[in-house]
Structure 1
Amino acid sequence: MKKLVTLSSLLLVSAALAASPADTLVIQSAADIPTLDPGVTYDTASSSLVDNMYETLITYDGASLTKLIPALATKWTASNGGKTYTFDLRKNVKFHSGATMTCADAEYTFERNLVTNSGASGNWFIAEPLTGTQSNAADDKSVTWAKIDKSVECNNNGQLVFTLAAVDPAFLAKLAYTGMAIVEKAYSAKIGEWDGTEKTWKDWIGKDLTGSELSKKPNGTGPYKLVRYDANNYLFQAFDGYWGKKPNIKNVIRQKVPELAARQQALLRGDADIIEGGGRSVDEAQIKGKPGVTWVDDLPSTTSTAIFMNEKIGGKGNNLLGSGKLDGKGIPANFFSDVNVRRGFSYAFDYQGYIKDVQKGKGIQRTMLMPDIFPGYDPKVKTYTFDPKKATEYFKRAWGGELWKKGFVLTANYRANAVASQTAMEILKRNIESLNPKFRVNIQSKQWSEMLSDSRKGEEAMILIGWAPDYADADNFMYTFYASDGYYSPRANWKDTSVDKWLKQARSTINTAERNRLYSLVGQRAYEQAPYILVPAPVDYLFNSSRVTGAPRTKAGYNPMTSLYWKDLSKK
């Protein structure tokens, strides 16, 4: 108890910690945490914590992007032509509540995900193979309780059985995603979550779990449990009842520290062990080579980032439109629906300048919004270059010539305290405004959780946002960005009939060559229509206090598909 009091005191001190003790890992980040409920975890900030409290049935094997190994399951078999999967579950696994995990908990977890499935969660990609649609029961009447109940059941041997509506070659990879982590049925019902019964399921259809009771009082099987938290600080302790190898580090403190300079100084003083950096150019100048810092470079990147141009800005996002007209004092809600506007913006971004200045020459201008290390990526698809002359030509064509004559005022947002994002927006602003004195781009920072929420409702005009994969398959990127019913569709509101057709064909075949051909078609069409400005991808790197060691912080042990697992770290 005395130790807990001491750590609680440290927690309240926030960024002003003394040098952190060897049994305590201190992590500092600029981002807030939208949720701690696995069922709605769909951002990297939340998953970085959820992944250490909860566990999935299967997980990635070390640094491999393709090999999956048991976690809460011990083995599995596929049958019925790939439409049935049967899992044996690990025995004597304890939740943080002290209860023993059973098959009923696993069944409840997936049924809860299917019932509450909404645009706020990543459950759409597990719903499709299990119920035959990405939608929930409110949006698609074919989704019934009987269909949900049948899709995942416990058999008489205590095994978990999935019955798929259609073959899905990425199904196992999907089960490794954070949002598929197992939660306890009885505990969840007791604190006010869905009770798992047919009687009440309709009350929970599509329910947003972001601020759920389970988010406030998490209860997983993972190696760390949450002890206390406030708006900016989270304190975790190693779970004594953990079934696996006991963590080397007993305590973890995660702090929200918006100021980059404060995070940098905390790392260099030894107050923090791992911090969110400011992008390669800043980190190399301020952190690399400094005493007490370990730097690991040339790591694979599986994130894709884009500047979104919303073709149908709605709701309170209309406050960003100024006059709401093409009169030089604002923009209409459908400003970006003219392909000439989108092409003009695409030619106005300095891609090589961004790679040079922000990424210190270690960046890749990708042809498509997907990792270049994934099957399906086509390096031959055309790309935009920074070309003010071409940008001017397209802007003069836009809106029948009226855009160039009258000008516009646009407000674009980026994540608060994200230096690389801010710089990208500043580059675009500078280049756009240099083309025509009547062009104005106002850029402003916005809290991460607020930007996520507003953009999901189509209420942002232009934002910079990225995508980290849920599962290692091209579909997770291509469908997410380019399909008119993809997860990011409300943020861009771009629709192309041919693209939708090609994407559906690609996800319905296991023929790799055919899938690759279809993705190439999508990439080329996206180049022509320019729904996004493709921000160059980084060559990844990491750094931390030299006191911290472990496979996840090495080149050989690094896996871009997973969060940082604290249990695999040690500290001197």
Structure 2
Amino acid sequence: MKRAIKRACALAVAVALALPGAPALAATPRDQLVIGMNMNNLLSLDPAGATGNDVLGVVANLYDYLVELDPHDLSKVHPALAERWEIAPDGMSLTLTLRGDARFQSGRALTAADAAWSLQRVLKLNLAMASPWKSYGFSAGNAERLIQAVDARTLRITLPEPTDPKMVLYTLGTSVSAAILDRDTVLSHEKNGDLGAAWLLTHAAGSGPYALTEWRAKDAMLLDRYDAYWRGPAKLRRVVMRHVPESLSLRFMISRGDVDLAAGMAGPDIEALRHDASAVVQPVLRGTSYYVAVSMKDAKFADKRVRLALRKLIDYDGINKAIMPHYGVAHQRPVMIGLAATLPDPGYKLDVPAAKKLLAEAGYPNGFRTTIKVLSDPPMINIATALQGTLAQAGIEASIQSGTGNQVYGAMRDRKFEIVVGRGGGGVEPHPHANLRALVYNPDNRDAAKLTNFQGWRTSFHSQEINRLIEQAVRERDPDTQNAMYREVQQLYDSEVGAIQPISQMLETVVLSKRVHGYVGHPSATTHLRDVYKD
């Protein structure tokens, strides 16, 4: 009881320092990092089921991964819990040798058995984060056989079917599902065979540089340094994450020194802080997309001509120039910028007369009524408003339904929507398959398949030819042949008028106090705070 009261008091004090009304003299403590952010979409901390970019940054500091990707060059894989690894000559297995000095925050030694169990658990629970592993052929039924601890320090992952082993290695370094859990601690909180899922929604059991002290949803989160961390103690004693959804409040707070880092701010406020001598603006290009998606379960959008008309009713140039600065950079392909397989942009433009002609051919000469579901946050709500205006020019009357992540993406996962303006599409791993798996691939279009983490499935877009090419490409050993296959997938997706149209590739811009040093935003959102310090 005393311990709980002590934690609550610590959180109350830490949060008070970050309140918008705090006096200017109440600068954040030197040994703490206070982060202001919108926590509306931070809904779960369970690595088996947690989705969204926000949770990646939290999990990366509570847990360790087997490997880590270099934030400056994602193709470079660095040791973490695994000191070294080998890919079998036939490409059908990975053997990882774990370090012997890592301990969980419970004090228990971390072993290969914990690593194997953590990965197996993701597949057995079959929640959202099982999707990348299922795309490689893993399942609840084969997980224990294919993911095994050979001894206390050796983990072997045998691939159930041919795939690109580099992609699996990238997933081990970036996916929240690859965080290694303290098996004994988690199972001590198991209820009704849930493998600790209910408890892990709001708790953590990791070996990372910080331990979760307290979390109040949509209010604040408190992380305290784990002094026995195998890399050595983090440079800061505490990290406080504060729910501040209003961009203007964040702008004032960073200027006054009430927070050390502000994330998710609106473009005008970021631009204003560029001229603030006490702040530093740091943009990081991520592999996810801002997009317009339609449901092909809806009869209107099942018609290719209507989808093509919609493609011609997006003002790409206007949106990217007026709305997307500090949020994204223009990009119209499903594969992220910078990969050898990425095709040049097709150059889609707003073309109302051509769209009207297509709608008339499809039987909608006067347009139709529809709904746009969208998060209430910028820039998505701004994109939706712009889309609403250009649709109206072709006679399409679209009402905007804004809401939370659960309301918008929940409807998308249930396949109960018409149009969604959203953000997603993988891109965490530096590989074309990461994007195509998330945005395009749909191996089973039945409702009963419930492939909810595949956004292609959510839209009911299903192309056997594209699926076949994606499956072949990820198995192809020759890089040139593989890249040619991925280019062909993009060309086919263009000609079949896929249900998801990328508009812009995500740019995450954070604003830091000049007191903060050592912060390196990670393109995969797994930003580590262990080396961050303050003047």
Shift of residue 386, structure 1, vs aligned partner: 0.9
2:446 alignment partner in structure 1: none
The answer on whether the counterparts of 1:31 and 1:448 sit within 8 Å (CA) in structure 2 is no
Deviation per residue, 1:259-280 (Å, 9 max, x gap): 2222222112111121223444
Structure 1 CA distance for aligned equivalents of residues 480 and 526 of structure 2: 31
Counterparts of 1:414-453 in structure 2, within 5 Å, are 414-416=374-376, 418-436=377-395, 439-453=396-410
> What is the one-letter code of the residue matched to 1:22?
R
Contact 1:396 1:404 in 2 (8 A): yes
Corresponding residue number in structure 2 for 1:256: 243
Q: CA distance change for structure 1 residues 363 and 96 in 2, over 3 Å: closer, same or farther?
A: closer
Residues 497-535 of structure 1: per-residue CA shift (max 9 Å, x gap): 221222122112122222222222222222233322321
Moved over 4 A (4+): 1-6, 360-364, 538-541
Contact 2:28 2:258 in 1 (8 A): yes
**Counterpart pick for 2:516 among 548, 562, 566:** 548
Give the equivalent residue in structure 1 for 2:369: 409
1:267 to 254, 257, 260: 254
For the 8 Å contact 1:93–1:242, the answer to whether it is kept is: yes
Change (3 A) 1:544 1:449: farther
| Structure 1 position 512 matched with structure 2 position 479 | yes
Conserved? CA contact 2:100–2:153, under 8 Å: no
> 2:7 aligned with 1:9, yes or no?
no
Who is 1:172 aligned against?
169
- Aligned-partner residue type, residue 374 of structure 1: L
Residue of structure 1 aligned with 2:304, choices 330, 335, 339: 339
Superposition deviation, residue 482 in structure 1:
1.1
Q: Displacement of 1:3 after TM fit?
A: 8.8
1:484 aligns with 2:442: yes
Structure 2 match to 1:141: none
> Which residue of 2 is the match for residue 351 of structure 1?
316
Amino acid at match of 1:294: V
Per-residue deviation, residues 126-175 of structure 1 (Å, max 9, x unmatched): 2444xx35xx45xxxxxx3xx32221222246411222223432221121
Q: Within 2, Cα distance between the matches of 1:336 and 1:83?
A: 41
How many Å apart are 1:54 and its aligned residue? 0.5
354-363 vs 219-228, which moves further: 354-363
Q: Which residue of 2 aligns with 1:46?
A: 55
Letter in 1 for 2:145: K
1:124 to 106, 125, 131: 131
Please name the residue that 1:456 is paired with: 413
Contact between 2:247 and 2:266, CA under 8 Å: does it hold in 1? no
Distance 1:472 1:46, change over 3 A: same
Give the SS at the match of 2:274. coil
Distance in 1 (alpha carbons) for counterparts of 2:309 and 2:205: 50
Partner of 2:184: 186
In the other structure, the counterpart of 2:198 is 212
Match of 1:324 in 2: none
Contact 2:316-2:349 at 8 Å conserved across structures = yes
Tell me how far apart the structure 2 counterparts of residues 290 and 12 of structure 1 sit (CA, whole Å): 24
What SS does the aligned partner of 1:521 have?
A: helix
Post-superposition CA distance 1:59-102 (Å, at most 9, x none): 11342211111111111223352223222212232212222212
Distance 1:268 1:126, change over 3 A: same
- Structure 1 residue 64 and structure 2 residue 61: aligned? no
Q: What secondary structure sits across from 1:369 in the alignment? A: coil
- Find the aligned partners of 2:469 and 2:276 in 1 and give their Cα distance: 50
Aligned 8 A contact 1:304 1:370 in 2: no
Deviations 1:25-52 (A, max 9, x none): 1112223212111122331111121111
SS at match of 2:371: strand
Question: In the TM superposition, what whole-angstrom CA distance separates every residue of 1:188-231 from its partner, at most 9, and x where no partner exists?
Answer: 1110168xxxxxxxx66xx9x8x621222211100011111112
Paired with 2:522 and 2:494, the residues of 1 have a C-alpha distance of 30
**2:202–2:215 CA contact under 8 A, matched in 1:** no
Equivalent pairs: percent with the same residue? 21
Aligned residue number for residue 470 of structure 1: 428
Write the letter of the residue equivalent to 1:385: K
CA distance in 2, matches of 1:216, 1:304: 28
User: Are 2:352 and 1:388 equivalent residues in the alignment?
Assistant: yes
2:375 maps to 1:375 = no
- The CA RMSD over aligned residues, in Å, is 2.5
Evaluate the alpha carbon distance shift between residue 264 and residue 20 of structure 1 in structure 2; reply closer, same or farther with a 3 A threshold: same
Secondary structure of 2:421's counterpart equals strand
Whether contact under 8 Å (2:286, 2:427) holds in the other structure is: no
* Partner AA of 2:518 in structure 1: G
Contact 1:78 1:85 in 2 (8 A): yes
Which of 152, 161, 174 is 2:147 aligned to?
A: 152
Q: Deviations over 1:543-564 (max 9, x none)?
A: 2111111150xxxxx5312422
Matched positions, count: 511
Cα pair 2:64 2:179 within 8 Å, conserved: yes
Give the Å deviation of 1:362. 9.4
- Post-superposition Cα deviations, 1:424-474, rounded to whole Å, max 9, x if no partner, equal 1111101111333xx321113211233333321212322122224232210
- The within-5 A match list for 1:72-87 is 72-79=81-88, 81-87=90-96
SS at match of 1:566: coil
CA distance in 2, matches of 1:226, 1:7: 12
Q: Distance in 2 between matches of 1:362 and 1:233?
A: 24
CA contact (8 A) 1:193 1:214 kept: no
d(CA) in 2 for partners of 1:361, 1:108: 40
Structure 1 residues 522 and 62: CA distance shift in structure 2, 3 A: closer
| Distance in 2 (alpha carbons) for counterparts of 1:15 and 1:451 | 29
Contact persistence 1:409–1:441 (CA under 8 A): yes
Contact 2:227–2:234 under 8 Å retained in 1 = no
Q: Cα deviation per residue 1:213-260 (whole Å; 9 max; x = unaligned)?
A: 122221110001111111221111111221113211111111222222
Q: Would the alpha carbon gap of residues 5 and 108 (structure 1) be closer, same or farther in structure 2, given more than 3 Å must change?
A: closer
Give the distance between the partners of 1:304 and 1:250, measured in 2 at CA: 35
Checking the alignment, whether the CA contact within 8 Å between 2:330 and 2:505 is kept in structure 1 is yes
Structure 1 unaligned spans of 5+ = 138-143, 195-202, 313-332, 553-557
Amino acid aligned to 2:81: L
Match of 2:447 in 1: none
Alpha-carbon distance in structure 2 between the residues aligned to 1:515 and 1:79: 20
- Distance, in Å, in 2 between the alignment partners of 1:444 and 1:26 is 33
Q: Does 1:564 align with 2:527?
A: yes
Paired residue type of 2:171: K
1:423, distance to aligned residue in structure 2 (A): 1.1
